[in-house]
Amino acid sequence: MSRRHDIIVWGITVLSIAALLLSGYGGWLSPSRFGAMVALAVLAYPAIVCASVLLSVIWVIGRQWKCALAVALAIASTWPSLSATFPVSLPESDVDRSRTFKVMSYNVEAFSQRLWADTTQMHPALRVILDEDADFVILVQPVTYGLGYDELKSVNPWLSELDRQYPYRTHSRYDNVDLLSKHPFRAVPLHPPGISNRYFPYVIKCVNRYAFDIHLPDNRQLRLVGAYMTSFTLYDAHRRSELDSVGSNAHNLANIYRKFDKAFSNRERTSASLRDSLDTSPANVILCTDLNDVPQSYAYRTIVGDDLRDAFRECHTGYLSTFNDHHLPFHIDHILYRGKMRAVAFKRISSSASDHNPIVATFEWQ
C-alpha cells in the first residue's frame, strides 16, 4: 500500500470517528452555547452510526484491520446514544391486563386538509384514534387559525362518535395541546418562559403544554403532561422550497441555519422550564411530547433528568421514526414516565394522515 493510500484511509477513519463522537455525545453540550451545528449532528446520529458500521465493514473487506477496529470501538464508545436510539427489549410476558391502560401521543397537524381534502368523510387521523381506543389521547397541534379540532368539517360531523368513546375532552381554539379521556380530569396550563406562536395576522399566546390530573375510579393518582416543543418553523410551502433549494441557494441555507439555531436555543429554555414543572408534579407522571428532537439530544436529556423512563426504550427493539415528511425519518415524539407503573408495550402506528405517526404505550400499575 502506498503512503498516500494509507493517509486517505486513516483520514476517512478519523473523520468518521470525529463525526461519531460529536453526534453521539453532542447532546451533553448546550445548543445556546455551542451552536446549532452540534445539535444537528445529534439529529444525524442514526445516519452517522449506520454509515460508520458500513465503513467498518468496508475496511474489513479491504483488510484495513486497524481502521476497522478503530471505527468499531468508536461506535461502541457511543453506547448511551446507541442504546437509546436502537434499543433491544424482550416482550413482557407476565402482565395483568386488568391493571393496564393505554396512552396515545399524536401530532395531528390540525387534522390537515392538505393531506385530506374530502371533508365528507371522517379524517383518517380521527379514525386511527377511534380504532386504537386508547384510554387517553394527547393531541398535539390540534387547532388551526383559531379553529378548534371539533369545528373542522372533517371532524365535526363525527363528534357524537368521538364523545361516545371519549366523554371527557378539551377543545381549545388556540392551544397546541388537547386531551381525549375516558376519565374526568382537571387541566392545568404550564406556561413556558416568554415564547409565543405567531398566527398571521395576530400574535396569540398559545399554551404549548398542559398538565392533566386524571380522576381515576380506584383512587390512583395520575398526571398526564402534554407538551409541544419549539419546532424549526419551516412551515408548508416555505419548508418545501427552502429544503428543496438548500444545496443551490446560499441565502436559503443561511436562513435555515438561523431557524435551526433559534429553535434549538428556544427548546433548551422550554425544556428546562418543563423539567421544573415535572419536579413539582406528583409521583405518577406520563409525559407525551412532540419534542422536535431525538433521544439523547440536549432537550431530551434535560427533560428526562435522573427519574424519567422512556417507554420506547423499554419496550421496543430497533430504530423508530415518528416524523414522516420530507423523507426525514426522525424520532421526535416521545412517551416518558415515572411512578408506580411500568411500560409493558410500545408501538408506532403507521399513518399518512399527519406529518407525524402516532405512538402508543401500554402501562401496568404496580
Instruction: Break the chain into its structural domains and give their ranges.
Output: 3-85, 97-365
- Residue partners of 62: CB distance under 8 A and separation at least 6: 9
Looking at the DSSP bridge assignments, the partners of residue 322 are: none
SS3 198: strand
Where does the pLDDT of residue 147 fall: very low under 50, low under 70, confident under 90, or very high at 90 and above? confident
- Residue partners of 144: CB distance under 8 A and separation at least 6: 110, 111, 152
Whole-angstrom distance, CA of residue 195 vs CA of residue 207: 9
Residue with cell 448511551: 80
Percentage of the residues of the chain whose pLDDT score is greater than 90: 69
The string of pLDDT tens digits covering residues 70-125 is 999 999 999 999 999 999 998 877 899 999 999 999 999 888 766 566 667 889 99
DSSP H stretches of helix in the chain: 3-25, 31-34, 36-43, 45-61, 65-77, 79-85, 124-132, 159-165, 236-244, 250-279, 298-304, 311-315
Give me the DSSP letters along 97-138. Answer: GGGEEEEEEEE-GGG-TTT---TTS--HHHHHHHHH--SEEE
Q: Which residue has the higher pLDDT, 300 or 174?
A: 300
Please answer whether residues 297 and 42 qualify as being in contact, where contact means their C-beta atoms are separated by less than 8 angstroms. Answer: yes
Among the listed residues 313, 314, 312, the one whose alpha carbon sits nearest the alpha carbon of residue 348 = 312
Whole-angstrom distance, CA of residue 230 vs CA of residue 241: 21
Which three three-digit cell numbers place residue 318? 430497533
Range scoring the smallest mean pLDDT among 131-140, 149-158, 342-351: 149-158
| Sign (positive or negative) of CA dihedral 165, 350, 137, 175 | negative
Whether pLDDT at 37 is above 70: yes
Q: What is the pLDDT of residue 340?
A: 96
Residue type present at position 270: T
For 97-365, CATH gives 3.60.10.10
Whole-angstrom distance, CA of residue 301 vs CA of residue 25: 11
Q: What is the pLDDT of residue 200?
A: 40
Please answer whether residues 110 and 338 qualify as being in contact, where contact means their C-beta atoms are separated by less than 8 angstroms. Answer: no
Whole-angstrom distance, CA of residue 28 vs CA of residue 30: 7
- Is-above-0.85 flag for pTM? yes
Give me the DSSP letters along 239-299. Answer: HHHHHHTTTT-HHHHHHHHHHHHHHHHHHHHHHHHHHHHHHTS-SSEEEEEE-SS-TTSHH
